[in-house]
Amino acid sequence: MASPANGRGEGETPPAASRSGRRDLTTGPIGATLLAFALPTLGSNILQSLNGSINAIWVGRFLGESALAATSNANNIMFLMFSAVFGFGMAATILVGQSWGRRDVDSARRAFGAAIGLVLAAAIVVATLGWLFTPQILRLLATPAEAQALAQAYLRVIFLGLPASMLLVLCFMGLRGTGDSMTPLWFMGLSVVVDSGLNPVLILGLGPFPRMGIAGSATATLIANLVAVGSLVVWIRWRDLPLRLRGREWRYLLPSGALTRAIIAKGLPIGAQMLVISTAGLAMMGLVNRNGVHTTAGFGITLQLWAYIQMPAMAIGAAVSAMAAQNIGAGQWNRVARITGAGLLLNAAITGTMVAVVLLFDRPILGLFVGANSPALPIAQHISLIASWGFILFGGTMVLFGVVRANGAVWGPLLILFAAMFPVRLGLAVLLQPWLGTDALWWSFPAGSATTVIMAALYYRFGSWRRSTLAVPPPDGEQRSHADVDTSGSLHPAG
């Protein structure tokens, strides 16, 4: 039974406790709290990117540039599929964070359970359709002929693993919404160890395992996700972490109509933001593919490098969003502006350092993926030199979008991203090619990032996002009074 005083189950640890790595993000010094929360998230991002890089090294070294180009195309498509269901998880995570800030644990669990039910159903549908239409998707993307068969074998296995990978990411997001960024770090580490360890075994057919080639790399990822998500579910129940479901709470997997509508209303625009980014990425990949397999491979290994450059920005943006959601839920709007400022400064320092290091050591880093004499290597260096600095601007956008989305404002970021990705980035890439050649493709990246951060800053300063409201609706047929939750905060900013 939930206590009517605060919405917590009897005998549960209050959200302010730090058990199992949880942090109360509504108290304490903002800069230090933000950094301490962001570092484990950054560690998770590093592990995830390291895993992708290790797998790319196995594929590039053992199977060649055509296989590497195939995985680059397939990964872009998977990001598109992932985006189709990611928005619902993000919307639920915002609801979890705000509920946690209000000390309303039951609402946090209902939002988390609803997200699991909705996202898993959507992921199964998307995975099925993706598996069936893989050849058509690859042809639409203008995948190089020599890479199509490899890309199809790789992508179909990856589609089979989409539900497990979505559930794993969703659990990570929910845990961070409660202030726990350490548990996701440990289980991301488990996934990386299994995935990177199995890659050479299944690609080459070592020991009793069959030689699977590029499909072996995808199968390793599938197994790693299944192992990690299964272990995480057991850990959440064993450690009795805040978002665990038990008894009658399992009904939360079938969300109420009102909660479903709330998640869809916010999740669709967030998912659309991801779709805009991924669709623009696929369109850019199509433009790159028309320049031959060496340019495609060079761009593919540059994307591996960029995954590392953007890691601090993504981690800081996620930390800022979680902190802002909890503080908005607690009604502490005076801290929200300070969180934004701290996030921007932290991003400029860390992402700027990453860009400098990567540009100084780009050749040995890029050379890990292909041989020293590969024609793709100088192409990758050239792309990195032109476009990598734009990720400092990208990080600023992540911070600003993280704050406004934490209060449920999702349409402004969607319109900004659409304008920056299509009229600006892709428009410049196409229009300037007669004068700049392939350099037009690479210069379009920082141009798009500059446009996005300027528009995001204007929206943060002058937009109406502070007037949004976001709360988990009560179960169908049930009315909740203000006494059902901690009333120490309001959903509206002071002043």
By CB atoms closer than 10 A (0-12, 13-18, 19+), residue 289 is buried
Q: Round to whole Å and give the CA distance between 65 and 57.
A: 11
Does the pLDDT of residue 482 top 60, yes or no? no
Q: How far is CA 346 from CA 87, 99, 319, 351, 419, in A?
A: 26, 27, 11, 8, 27
pLDDT the model gives residue 470: 64
- Where are the alpha helices (H) located in 133-256, listed in sequence order? 134-140, 145-160, 162-177, 182-204, 214-238
Q: Round to whole Å and give the CA distance between 73 and 279.
A: 12
**What's phi and psi for 291, nearest 5 deg?**
-105, 10
Does the pLDDT of residue 308 top 70, yes or no? yes
Encode pLDDT of 313-355 as tens digits: 989 998 999 899 989 988 899 999 999 999 999 999 999 999 9
Q: Quick one: which of 385, 347, 389 has its CA closest to 366?
A: 385
Q: What is the dihedral of CA 106, 413, 402, 105, to 10 degrees?
A: 0
Average confidence (pLDDT) over 73-80: 71
- Provide the pLDDT confidence category of residue 59 given band limits of 50, 70 and 90: confident
Q: How far is CA 135 from CA 51, 129, 143, 148, in A?
A: 26, 11, 10, 8
DSSP letter for each residue of 247-285: GGGGGGGS--HHHHHHHHHHHHHHHHHHHHHHHHHHHHH
When mean pLDDT is compared across 194-203, 260-269, 421-430, the lowest value belongs to 260-269
Q: Mean of the per-residue pLDDT values for the chain?
A: 83
pLDDT the model gives residue 424: 96
**Alpha carbon distance, N-terminus to C-terminus of the chain:** 37
Q: Give pTM, 2 decimals.
A: 0.78
